[in-house]
Amino acid sequence: MPAILNADLHCHSVVSDGTLTPEELAARAKANGVELWALTDHDEIGGQRRAAAAARAQGLKYLTGTEISVTFADETVHIVGLGFDADDPRMAEGLSATRGGREARAREMSDQLAQVGIKGAYEGALKYVGNPELISRTHFARFLVETGVCKDTGEVFRRYLTDGKPGYVPHRWASLRDAVHWITRSGGVAVIAHPARYRFTPNEEYALFTEFKAHGGRGVEVVTGSHTSAEAVRYAETAREFGLAASRGSDFHCPDESHTDLGQLPYLPGELTPVWELLADRIQ
């Protein structure tokens, strides 16, 4: 498939912190002109069967997907996995272990928010949760908007849910090495998600890309809903420098919250190797 392709290889359903079902996402992707799609729920592959079936029903080409939470140099990094075998037990076990800490973290977040006068946040967040194993900061953010504490989810993250703020609980996720291995050993390609979002020094970023490659990682998101056009240019250069394939994805979560809709983003720069070229035999 060509580099100039409306591929959207990053989005979320109710199986993690999105608000649409896999079927609703498939229909929306199709309506928006997406040609190749992947559902990439956080630390979960529970929506993969439904997504693949919905893609087939819509006449969309599909790659399996997930977005794994990783801790690297004391920062949370997201690694997208594409085109793996969703029935591989190594992937399922790794993701299950990664999800395991979320419940206790959520209770601690709620306790901290109570200390600044916001009561019942755990129960409030749970109302938005589609998957009991996947309670995330996004669900807390929706509750704080509902109760009028903040006007939108962006404000909730700025005031409460980021490092140093009263509802932020540091958490240790999977290692970079494990996440890349779960993906590659189940036949997929590992991709560094939205690299411009991390607060790394140049040395730390260099270490991330170097170690990611050494573990077998092969791709980086260049065009994403999280990047400005200048950031896309910058990471196109990084992709070339490290010999990585380029990926493209909206990171769509919700019609009311996401500023980038499914498939509505610039094409990949033509001179890069698109990640779907590495995955030609994994496309369903």
Q: Which residues bind Mn ion (CB under 5 A)?
A: 17, 67, 78, 193, 251
99 belongs to the binding site for ligand AMP (CB under 6 A): no
Binding region for ligand AMP (CB under 6 A) out of 54-62, 79-87, 150-158, 228-236: 150-158
**Nearest distance from C-beta of residue 121 to ligand AMP, angstroms:** 13
Residue with Cβ nearer ligand AMP (168 or 242)? 168
Pairing, β 65-72 against β 245-249: unpaired
Structure token pair of residue 4: 């100039």
Q: Which of 10, 30, 42, 227 binds ligand AMP (CB under 6 A)?
A: 42
Residue with Cβ nearer ligand AMP (58 or 250)? 250
Q: Which of 19, 40, 136, 250 binds ligand AMP (CB under 6 A)?
A: 136
Residue with Cβ nearer Mn ion (29 or 193)? 193
**Nearest distance from C-beta of residue 17 to ligand AMP, angstroms:** 5
Q: Which of 84, 143, 157, 160 binds ligand AMP (CB under 6 A)?
A: 157
Q: Which of 48, 110, 138, 224 binds ligand AMP (CB under 6 A)?
A: 138
Binding site partner of 48, from ligand AMP, Mn ion, none, Cβ cut-off 5-8 A by kind: none
**Beta-bridge mates of residue 191:** 80, 219
The three-state (H, E, C) secondary structure of 204-268, written as one string: HHHHHHHHHHHHCCCEEEEEECCCCHHHHHHHHHHHHHHCCEEEEECCECCCCCCCCCCCCCCCC
Number of residues that bind ligand AMP (CB under 6 A): 10
Binding site partner of 99, from Mn ion, ligand AMP, none, Cβ cut-off 5-8 A by kind: none
Binding site partner of 2, from ligand AMP, Mn ion, none, Cβ cut-off 5-8 A by kind: none
69 belongs to the binding site for ligand AMP (CB under 6 A): yes
User: Which residues of this protein are in contact with ligand AMP, per CB under 6 A?
Assistant: 17, 42, 69, 136-138, 153-154, 157, 253
